[in-house]
Amino acid sequence: MDRSDQRQRGTATSPENPGPALCSAPASASAPAASAPATASSANNLRKEIRIWTRDLLIAIGLALVIIVFLYQPVKVEGTSMAPLLSDQERIFINKFVYRFEPIQRGDVVVFWYPLDHSKSFIKRVVGLPGETVELRQGTLYINGKVVPEPYVPPQYEDNSDYAPKVVPPDHFFVLGDHRISSNDSRVFGMVASEYIYGRAVFAYWPVDHFGSLETTEASSK
């Protein structure tokens, strides 16, 4: 947020002339000399205020760059496994440090190193937490035997296949793509170790019609 010092400018006034009215000519002749310092003072104030605004703007830009470089990372989405939330070639920001201060939660859209090839990164949604039993019955998600509604999965993207109950190991997570019928996820490559998860998707910035937060949709269990 930009902040600037605002200074109220004083109004310059010319001193009254105590001489008689007959001396009006000399009085009017001295007026330009009196206004010159006032004009110079106004110009100095303007230059000083411009310098303050410029300084504050540069500080704000510098802080923004530091935050983006050290806290957030821009990434490009490849594929459609997280549609309709994310589309192919979409640009987003991920928070690289959030999980140093808070735990991974169900519903988080996370970026992680692909367990079968650590040179690749995947982006999926966390649906199963450590110690929980995850199951899919005709596409419906069950956690510990209870149905978990998933409003982020449109009917046309549902996968009606089954997945036998499995317990998520300690420090691991079960992840799924929102586009279930075309997603390579934990149903295929297994659970994801917490050490492989390095960020949470927080904001989409391109294309402009997708501009906005990505942290508004969460799964909830009944």
Tell whether the model's pLDDT for residue 209 goes beyond 50. Answer: yes
Beta-carbon count within 10 A of 94 CB: 22
Residue corresponding to tokens 């105590």? 18
Beta-carbon count within 10 A of 206 CB: 13
89 plus 195 within the same structural domain: yes
Residue 11 lies in a domain: no
Tell whether the model's pLDDT for residue 206 goes beyond 60. Answer: yes
Higher pLDDT, 55 or 70: 55
Residue 34 lies in a domain: yes
| pTM greater than 0.85 | no
Residue 218 lies in a domain: no
51 plus 131 within the same structural domain: no
Give the tens place of pLDDT for each residue, 4-45: 443 333 333 333 344 444 333 444 444 455 555 667 778 788
User: Which residues are catalytically annotated?
Assistant: 81, 124
Q: How many structural domains comprise the chain?
A: 2
Which residues, at least 6 apart from 26, have a Cβ–Cβ distance to it below 8 Å?
Answer: 19
57 plus 107 within the same structural domain: no
51 plus 104 within the same structural domain: no
Integer Cα distance of 180 and 70 in angstroms: 33
| Inter-residue contact 119 to 190 (CB < 8 Å) | no
| Inter-residue contact 124 to 81 (CB < 8 Å) | yes
125 plus 27 within the same structural domain: no
110 plus 82 within the same structural domain: yes
Picking from 70, 86, 102, the residue at the C-terminal end of a domain is 70
Residue 155 lies in a domain: yes
**HEC profile of 147-196:** ECCCCCCCHHHCCCCCEEEEECCCCEEEEECCCHHHCCCHHHHCCEEHHH
Residue range 62-66: average pLDDT?
77
Q: pLDDT category, 90, cuts 50, 70, 90?
A: very high
Residue range 52-76: average pLDDT?
83
The predicted structure's pLDDT at residue 12? 36
Give the tens place of pLDDT for each residue, 106-139: 999 999 999 999 999 999 999 999 999 999 999 9
123 plus 26 within the same structural domain: no
DSSP letters along 27-77, please?
HHHHHHHHHHHHHHHHHHHHHHHHHHHHHHHHHHHHHHHHHHHHTEEEEE-
Residue range 56-68: average pLDDT?
81
128 plus 91 within the same structural domain: yes
- The CATH number covering residue 208 comes to 2.10.109.10
27 plus 63 within the same structural domain: yes
99 plus 155 within the same structural domain: yes
Phi/psi region, residue 138 (left: phi>0; alpha: psi -120 to 50; beta: rest), is: left
The predicted structure's pLDDT at residue 153? 96
The predicted structure's pLDDT at residue 66? 74
Residue 160 lies in a domain: yes
Residue range 150-172: average pLDDT?
96
Containing structural domain, residue 52: 21-70
41 plus 109 within the same structural domain: no
The number of residues in the chain equals 222
Query: Using CA of residue 139, residue 143, residue 149, residue 152, what is the dihedral sign?
Result: negative
